[in-house]
Homo-oligomer: A and B are copies of this chain.
Amino acid sequence: MTEPKTPDVAAPTGLVKKNARDGKSNATIYDIAKVAGVNPSTVSRALSKPGRVSAKTQKLIEDAAAELNYHVNPFARALPTGRTNTFGLIVADITNPTFFDIIRGAETTATLRDYTLVLAESAESAVTELTAARRMMATVDGLILASPRMDDDDIRTIARDKPVVVINREVDGVPCVVPDVNKGISEAVRSLAANGHHKVAFVAGPAQSWMSARRWEGVQAACEWSRLDAVRLESTKPTVDGGRQVARDVRASGATAVLTYNDLLAIGLMQELQAAGVVVPDQISIVGFDDIFGADFTTPPLTTVRSPLGECGSGAATLLLDLLHGAGEPTATLRVETELVLRGSSGRLLPAG
């Protein structure tokens, strides 16, 4: 900084790079400072935390910034501060419609609060998920994990470094957004009982799925209350195809009503059953979970226990952003309600014959 560089002239030492704003390269606070006739640091102050600078210089600077079409360089800003105005969202499966609304909810909230959303998927794998999370850690201010598959401990480890919010799972010491299954499930089971069913089957989801365990618990409890038999069946994967595959187990179980871990399974199951000549809901009632996109495309349309997925996404984002801004409980759990959406795939059991 000792040699006096000629300011406005092109690089003195043969360095033919971008110097005087040659059209392309972006304006910096130095350029603004020059135009406004103030010091770069004043520009920085004026632009980052308004109020710490006199009204007239403020305007001067803002005008200059506008004129030069200035935009902060997020990287330069992130370097000293460590803040990036970005957060990550990791979902188990991008093509699973369950996550569509979560993604949208998070994205909307992010944009609203001037944050950028970075998306990654774990392909239902705990290790991929962990890898993705680690990868993101470097570039984001916080992380949202939707239906995470990794260990509680891994999650907590990550949460020690950066704020983390978990959706669809409860992890001690980490803020979570979880649908409370009870209301929706008891509505569903009561409806089934009222329609003459005595034995219901629950088709479980992935073994690592926290949510699947909760739902099975809920079903058991509700069935006990309504004095129904409840049996649990396993699925190979939580997809339409998995639903088709579990059809024979369902028939073998002797249950006249079945709740599945998610809507995808329910839809696949219904397709397979119908293909085999089983009439839904006359011979068997089917109830899904989530109320995903397309749940009402089927014939009959699917009865399902709805989780407010969009709300989960935006709620998680809000929680996270509040955390980042020092507001809010660092470990509050947000519970959202579930409700039964009664459509045509469940109903009165018709006497055999």
Contacts and interface: CB of A to CB of B under 8 A. Distances in A.
Given A75-B75, A79-B76, A293-B97, A119 B120 contact: no
A139 interface: yes
Interface stretch (A101-109, A141-149, A190-198): A101-109
From DSSP, what is the main secondary structure of chain A's interface residues?
A: mixed
Interface stretch (A5-13, A224-232, A254-262, A294-302): A294-302
Q: In the assembly, how many copies of this chain are there?
A: 2
Nearest to A139: B74
A85 to B, nearest CB: 9
Interface stretch (A33-41, A54-62, A110-118, A323-331): A110-118
Interface string A116-158: 1111110000000000100110110000000000000000000
Given A294-B297, A298-B299, A119 B117 contact: yes
Given A75-B79, A294-B294, A294-B297, A135 B116 contact: yes
A202 to B, nearest CB: 22
A73 interface: yes
Interface residues of A, number: 37
A337 B84 CA distance: 41
Contacts of A111: 120-121, 132
A94 B107 CA distance: 9
Contact of A119 (B97, B119, B139): B119
Given A104-B121, A297-B297, A116 B139 contact: yes
Interface of A: 71-76, 78-79, 84, 86, 94-95, 97, 100-101, 103-104, 107-108, 111, 116-121, 132, 135-136, 138-139, 267, 293-294, 297-299
